[in-house]
Amino acid sequence: MGWMNDETGLDKTPANYVPLTPLSHLARAAKVFADREALVYGEMRLTYRQYHARVSQLASALVQAGVTPGDVVATILPNVPAQAEAHFGVPACGAVLNTINIRLDVDTIAYILDHGEAKVVLCDSQFLPVAMQAIDLMEGEAPLIVEVPDPQAGVPEIGEQIDYETFLAAGDPTFAWVMPLDEWESLALNYTSGTTGRPKGVVYHHRGAYLMTMGTPVTWRMTLYPVFLAIVPLFHCNGWNHTWMMPLLGGTVVCCRDVAAAAIYDAIADEGVTHFGGAPIVLNLLVNAKDDERRAFDHTVEVFTAGAPPAPATLDAIGKLGFNVQQVYGLTETYGHVTECLWNADWDALPQDEQAAIKARQGVAFPQMEDITVLSDTMEQVPMDGATQGEIVIRGNSVMKGYLKNPEATAKAFKGGYFHSEDLAIQHPDGSMQIADRAKDIIISGGENISSVEVEGALMGHPDVMLCAVVAMPDDKWGEVPCAFVELKEGRTGDEAALIAHCRDRLAGFKCPKKVVFGELPKTSTGKIQKFELRKQLT
């Protein structure tokens, strides 16, 4: 039968088995890269030794505040050092990190704090008034608020809550981290836009994040000591896991609070930024920057772009400016990017416009993923003919544990042994995938997901509205924005400004329609609104 059937003495022990966790990267970096620059934000510069000590202080302070393993600690922060420190400090005390989108409305923030049962919230001073309003709306126990001012950005302390540095100072820089006993333990909680109202809580495990940090450098062809500009919000899939990854490579994270062309060019020229990720809107910013916003640099900057397929013209233009752009694709449920447009040297001879069209594909699976492909409704592989549509399905270690407190949605998402993206795509003969449509009717504006159903729900609350449908409208700046088609009740006259204002009272600003078109909506014989007909009017 062979010796494998008798493995006496061949067990897991502390010597040969350690649960995988991205915490290990920073623990190692504090020894191996102790004096290298780890975190940069304006005048603030931390070595890995200092970074590790501050993270330890944060973990210790959270324990002193009553946080226990398995508790949730939330953040409402832009990409500032405290947000990066929370990515290690929160799990280092055994807690689960919940980074909340700073652009959300008060009601949604209140729901997330209640649903996730946050014990502590680290909140930027700019967003503190909104956070306090949200806490007033909560049904459960209010969390402790720690205020994070940012005087460098002109965001002074309000002073009603304990401030971050005071909170940190009470912590022990030699605190012994609470490492996971099981790599399946929960690491992070991220809320994703849903098509049925409330967002779903996506739960990450330590193993998935660790493997994401190991697969990404392979895909991005990274070597030691990269300088990474944190443009992707750390509340989006934890910044695609890049902050957890950088200590692995002894790299430097350069924080970027406000995304602007001048700030990006300055970071590249002054800090030597080598890598960043961003939605196509970021590429457009760089292409369309004014002369006084641009800075010269003498190295190629590697860029991951995702969120919506970039226009081939944009890819063509930015390539000439010193940026090598790689299209990636993923979802909140997959820790961010899990497919890449893997380049084939044979394509180098193609005309620029054809190269740009290929670069706009979502591509093939990252190395840490087991299988990502396009299947039919009956879970069969679609022909790889560049024409037949199916659904992108995903299997691998960088897939979420499931949706918090929602076993029905989790079971549906994992039906048949794959995670179902609900994104419709075609597959080319080389296996690369290309999104053809979004089955969930999600509008992706500047990298932010907007549920058309949520916007429609707000519009339907207006007394003049009989029926409505919201679809994506192309936009030069944001990629796409919501456009509302409204069928009015008899005797009512359309007031575009009033309807948009109505939405603004109920939704985050970026979710509100930017245009309202009045008229009878096209419907099927059963009364279903034909959104594809509405989209045709906008192209």
Domain boundaries, the chain: 442-538
Q: How far is CA 413 from CA 130, 278, 399, 421, in A?
A: 33, 27, 11, 8
Least confident of 148-157, 233-242, 338-347, 355-364: 355-364
Confidence of residue 5 (pLDDT cuts 50, 70, 90): confident
Q: What is 442-538's CATH superfamily? A: ANL, C-terminal domain (3.30.300.30)
Question: Which residue would you say has higher pLDDT here, 451 or 406?
Answer: 406
Task: Decide if pLDDT at 195 tops 50.
Answer: no
pLDDT value at position 466? Answer: 80
Q: Once rounded to an integer, what is the mean pLDDT over residues 430-447?
A: 80
pLDDT value at position 439? Answer: 60
Locate 86 and state its tokens.
Answer: 């929370």
Q: Once rounded to an integer, what is the mean pLDDT over residues 209-230?
A: 97
Rounded to the nearest 10 degrees, the angle between the axes of helix 280-287 and helix 261-271 is: 80
pLDDT value at position 458? Answer: 85
Task: Decide if pLDDT at 527 tops 70.
Answer: no
The SS3 call for residue 94 is: coil
Least confident of 150-154, 439-443, 535-539: 439-443
Beta-carbon neighbour count of residue 152 at 10 Å? 13
Q: What digits encode the pLDDT tens for the residues 44-99?
A: 999 999 999 999 999 999 999 999 999 999 999 999 999 999 999 999 999 999 99
- Of the chain, the percentage scoring pLDDT greater than 70 comes to 96
Task: Decide if pLDDT at 193 tops 50.
Answer: yes
Task: Decide if pLDDT at 196 tops 60.
Answer: no
The SS3 call for residue 46 is: strand
pLDDT value at position 352? Answer: 78
pLDDT value at position 438? Answer: 62
Name the maximum alpha-carbon separation found in the chain. 84
Task: Decide if pLDDT at 9 tops 90.
Answer: no
Distance CA 415, CA 392 (A): 13
Q: What is the pTM of this model?
A: 0.86
Which helix (H) or strand (E) is 240 found in, with range? helix 237-240
In three-state form (DSSP H/G/I as H, E/B as E, the rest C), the secondary structure along 143-203 is CEEEEECEHHHCECCCCCCEEHHHHHHCCCCCCCCCCCCCCCCEEEEEEECCCCCCCEEEE
Confidence of residue 526 (pLDDT cuts 50, 70, 90): very low
Q: Once rounded to an integer, what is the mean pLDDT over residues 398-423?
A: 96
Locate 203 and state its tokens.
Answer: 């739960």
pLDDT value at position 313? Answer: 66
